């Protein structure tokens, strides 16, 4: 209602491709997670902190257990593909703790990971803030872990020559 003549188009491609499109002027704003590689010619606007968690359904044998770091190697994990921006934080955590995981599934869509976990197909790695409603409704259950994966930032990237655009800045303020 505030900006009736603004068109929003959502592109679901990898961050690197979105950055290229922004550099060509085809995209105004790129949403991604940090840590991630951001070219110097972009301004970063932090939106909020995000938390990676492991989730299962109500019938999972893992639901009431405490999961330790070493248990990650044996869990039937459902993860995003290895190079996905939303998985980089988990990869960094595993590397720094000498954990080698062999995912049961790698799926290129967060919503499908949620659905797979909800249907008992494995343990999904998801962002708490994105599944909070399903946690509240007891459709998904966060695993108890003896560790925490470092939080990450949800950010907007704007090509620096456009970072002073009033409409872009007002849109980003709405998101915060």
For residue range 121-139, list pLDDT tens digits in order: 999 999 999 999 999 999 9
161 is written with which tokens? 């020559």
pLDDT by residue (tens digit) across 148-163? 999 999 998 998 887 6
Torsion, Cα of 33, 39, 43, 44 (10° steps): 20
Global pTM exceeds 0.85: no
Is the pLDDT assigned to residue 2 strictly greater than 70?
no
Of 29-43, 53-67, 84-98, 122-136, the poorest mean pLDDT is in 29-43
DSSP 85-150: TTTHHHHHHHHHTT-----SEE-S-HHHHHHHHHTTSSEEEEEHHHHHHHHHTTSSEEPEESS-PP
Length of the chain: 176
69 is written with which tokens? 């770091």
pLDDT at 174: 78
Of 16-25, 41-50, 91-100, 155-164, the poorest mean pLDDT is in 155-164
Residue identified by tokens 């470092």 is: 150
Select the more confidently predicted residue: 135 or 5. Answer: 135
């Amino acid at each position: 209602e505030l900006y009736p003549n603004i068109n929003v188009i959502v592109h679901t491609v990898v961050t690197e491709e979105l950055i290229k499109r922004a550099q060509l002027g085809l995209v105004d704003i790129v949403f991604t997670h940090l840590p991630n590689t951001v070219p110097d010619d972009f301004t970063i606007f932090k939106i909020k902190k995000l938390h990676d968690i492991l989730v299962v359904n109500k019938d999972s044998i893992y639901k009431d257990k405490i999961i330790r770091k070493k248990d990650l190697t044996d869990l039937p994990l459902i993860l995003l593909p290895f190079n996905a921006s939303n998985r980089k934080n988990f990869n960094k955590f595993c590397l720094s703790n000498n954990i080698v995981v062999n995912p049961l599934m790698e799926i290129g869509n967060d919503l499908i990971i949620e659905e797979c976990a909800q249907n008992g197909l494995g343990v999904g790695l998801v962002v708490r803030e994105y599944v909070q409603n399903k946690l509240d409704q007891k459709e998904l259950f966060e695993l108890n872990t003896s560790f925490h994966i470092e939080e990450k930032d949800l950010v907007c990237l704007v090509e620096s020559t456009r970072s002073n655009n009033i409409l872009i800045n007002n849109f980003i303020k709405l998101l915060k």
